Amino acid sequence: MNERAVLREYKMFGLKLSYGVAMTFIVMLLLPGCVSQQKYDALQSRYDQLNRTMSSEINAKEMHIERLQNAIKVTVNDQLLFPSGEWEMPGTAQQTIAKMAPILAPMQETKIIVNGYTDNVPIGPGLMAQGVTSNQELSQKRADTVMQFLITQGVNPNLVAAQGFGEANPVASNDTPQGRAQNRRVELTLAGAGN
């Protein structure tokens, strides 16, 4: 519908609006749709970029990237990030996260949530000696480690948070070694701007 047709429609209903007021009203109606599309496109662009950058990890089944409606979720296998029973990332794990940082760091308007998970195997004596008494604590330390490393790589510290969930929310059965390996993971969720 062109501008004159819009003004005719308003006149038909007895509304006498100036051209500027009518155009402002039209822009206000259309703007939310444009912003949503812009958010969607920006998130889709980051999703595509992450898939390209992390293709070798994805192909090796060390990482999974999922596009959600208003977010992107990156799931990284625990084996890629942490040695068994530890929460410090070795150099190879840092390199993996560092590959994602240039894609994540420019997203200063986007909240990044780092969630840590474990399997249901009880904490062993080695971790107990280090003061880690539960899977929830271990998962929190791992999530914190990833969050702190992202910050060193340029991610805005005000827009990143870490949460450990321990053995909650398993994605596979803990009855097999393969299932437990899937449950030991770190998820990074990138919410769309404004979410």
User: For 71-95, how does the pLDDT look when each residue is reduced to its tens digit (9 = 90+)?
Assistant: 899 999 888 888 778 899 999 899 9
**Quick one: pLDDT band at residue 7, thresholds 50, 70, 90?**
very low
**Quick one: pLDDT band at residue 61, thresholds 50, 70, 90?**
confident
- Residue whose tokens read 């999703």: 47
The pLDDT value recorded for residue 25 is 39
Q: Does position 23 have pLDDT exceeding 50, yes or no? A: no
Indicate the length of the chain as a whole number: 195
Q: How many whole angstroms separate alpha carbon 43 and alpha carbon 30?
A: 20
Q: What is the mean pLDDT of residues 55-59?
A: 91
Q: What is the mean pLDDT of residues 109-116?
A: 89
Q: Which of 112, 104, 99 is nearest to 55 (CA)?
A: 99
**Quick one: pLDDT band at residue 13, thresholds 50, 70, 90?**
very low
Please provide the average confidence, as pLDDT, over all residues in the chain.
Answer: 81
Q: What is the DSSP letter of 61?
A: T
The pLDDT value recorded for residue 192 is 62
Q: How many whole angstroms separate alpha carbon 187 and alpha carbon 30?
A: 35
The pLDDT value recorded for residue 107 is 61
Q: How many whole angstroms separate alpha carbon 38 and alpha carbon 77?
A: 31
124 phi and psi angles, rounded to 5 deg: -85, 175
* DSSP-assigned beta bridge partners for residue 163: 115
**Quick one: pLDDT band at residue 104, thresholds 50, 70, 90?**
confident
Q: How many whole angstroms separate alpha carbon 34 and alpha carbon 188?
A: 27
Q: Which of 23-32, 38-47, 98-107, 161-170 ranks highest by mean pLDDT?
A: 161-170
Burial class (CB in 10 A: 0-12, 13-18, 19+), 112: buried
Q: Does position 180 have pLDDT exceeding 80, yes or no? A: yes
Q: Around 55, how many Cα atoms within 13 Å sit in the side-chain half-sphere?
A: 4
Amino acid of residue 55: S
Cβ neighbours around 125 below 10 Å, total: 7
Q: Which of 58, 49, 140 is nearest to 101 (CA)?
A: 49
Q: Does position 70 have pLDDT exceeding 50, yes or no? A: yes
- Residue whose tokens read 């340029």: 154
